[in-house]
Amino acid sequence: MPLESVTNGTPLTNKTIAIKDNICTTQFLTTCGSRMLQNFRSPYDATVVRLLEEAGAHITGKTNCDEFGMGSANIHSIHGTVVNPHQSPFSSVPWHEREERSPGGSSGGSAAAVAAGMCDAAIGTDTGGSVRLPASYCGVAGFKPSYGMISRLGVVSYADSLDCVGILAKTTAEIPSIYSILSVFDERDPTSARPEIRKRASDFTQELLDSWDCQPGTMDGLTIGIPQEYFPKELNDCTVKPLRQILDVASSLGAKIVPLSLPMTQYALSAYYVIASAEASSNMARYDGIQYGTRIQPPHGADTRKVSNVYAYTRSHGFGHEVQKRILLGTYALTADAFDNYFLQAQRIRRLVTSDFDSVFRAPNPLSANPVKKPHGVDVLLHPSAVGTAPFLSDSNATSGLDSYVQDVLTAPASLAGLPALSVPAGLVAGWPVGVSIVGQWGSDELVLKVGQAIE
């Protein structure tokens, strides 16, 4: 059966859209920011690229990213570092003398291209926050749909059970027309949500939309949950102010604001890094310089005891440090000794994180065998997208040290549970953008986008 025909949504004629460089295009190389794929041209277009072109969009080019999507600052790329194009209106220092900041990663190129006005929208991928974090740092909107809603065919795998294609645009209002083109069942992606599940999700979402009088100027009937665990000690206090302002407006428009607790949140980041690295180590195994990847020959006269074969030399020189680190971490988590204590525990946490979310949402989880409605639950959750504003590129701990992993602390839980999550620009703190994230039940993507438009 072919893909469902695209009949809904606004045609994308004349829209310029840039594509993250881990998504296959026939027109451009697909390097994933890696030396390993520096000359790779895909023989086919990813489903998302084909759908965009069929809808009339003009693909303007590929955007830089962290190697294979691994990173939070877009500094791990063979093409170099991406610089955040935002200019603080309060700085008196001439722009060329200002200290450069990160655009966030791994879809930093996509967010920077949108923020700099180089395209109408950009496509990114989000495994643990890679669309939402750059959106927050660059002051644009970034949407990670429910896992399985957008086809991953032609998206180079980092961690298959988490990878989602996402959309970045200047404002949330520009996202739904692109999302409606892309969110179709693709039988060539085995993880694509099947039509009957989509139908069930859309029925549940319609019930939520019906009870919310979603007219401009009112938020009557909408219940917003504020999870207390999303204000960790790492959170810079001033980033809370824009969220507070949004909540004041929402409640004056009739929304009900409910504080709540998602106790498993504190374990989500660790579980994410175990699962993502384990899957990455398996996905990266195919790049051996023999079947896949650029073969890198040991130089003449090289110490062949250390670089005993083409395979080892290719992988030591074809992958950057961050990717090698993830391969080591993931391989370790999958060894017989560590499997029970790391990998299995992380999978358990993943399930508990999902049940945490299920216990607070009013809508049932359409993926559950026994979906239960909770009349007193919340429709969406709101929380800061990131723990602070864009880090300085000179701050190596924030861009490549342990702190770079901490940047994902607020985005990883929704990734583990596969939930739709949108970061909307929420204003400036000391001249730099911060985002607020809206998270909904699996399949309530339309609601999340509507709430995004209402609060932006």
Residues within the interface to ligand GLN (CB under 6 A): 69-72, 106, 125-130, 158, 276, 408
Q: Which residue is nearest to ligand GLN (CB)?
A: 130
DSSP string, 1-36: -PPPP--SS---TT-EEEEETTB--SSS---TT-GG
Q: From the candidates 20, 62, 144, 450, which is the catalytic residue? A: 20
Residues in the chain: 456
Residue 371 Cβ, how far from ligand GLN at the closest point, in Å?
28
DSSP string, 31-82: -TT-GGGTT---SS--HHHHHHHHTT-EEEEEE--SGGG--SSS---TT---
Closer to ligand GLN by Cβ: residue 137 or 158: 158
Q: How crowded is the C-beta side of 344, counted as CA atoms within 13 Å?
A: 7
Is 20 one of the catalytic residues?
yes
Active site residue 106: yes
φ, ψ for residue 421 (rounded to 5)? -145, 135
Pair of tokens at residue 126:
């989000």
Query: Using CA atoms, how far apart are residues 376 and 256, in angstroms rounded to an integer?
Result: 11
Q: How far is the CB of 407 from ligand GLN (least distance, A)?
A: 7
Cβ proximity of 49 and 25 under 8 Å: yes
Least distance to ligand GLN, CB of residue 42, Å: 19
In whole angstroms, the minimum distance from the beta carbon of 330 to ligand GLN comes to 11
d(CA 246, CA 456): 8
Let me know: does 78 contact 31? Beta carbons within 8 Å: yes
Closer residue to ligand GLN in complex, CB, 18/214: 18
User: Which is the catalytic residue, given 72, 77, 106, 192?
Assistant: 106
Q: Which of 211, 208, 109 is nearest to 438 (CA)?
A: 208
Q: Report, in Å, the least distance between residue 136 CB and ligand GLN.
A: 13
Q: By C-beta, is 229 or 322 nearer to ligand GLN?
A: 322
Q: How far apart are CB 426 and ligand GLN at their closest, in Å?
A: 21
CB-based contacts of 231: which residues, under 8 Å, 6+ apart?
240, 383, 384
Q: In whole angstroms, what is the distance from residue 369 CA to residue 63 CA? A: 40
The residues carrying an active-site annotation are 20, 106, 130
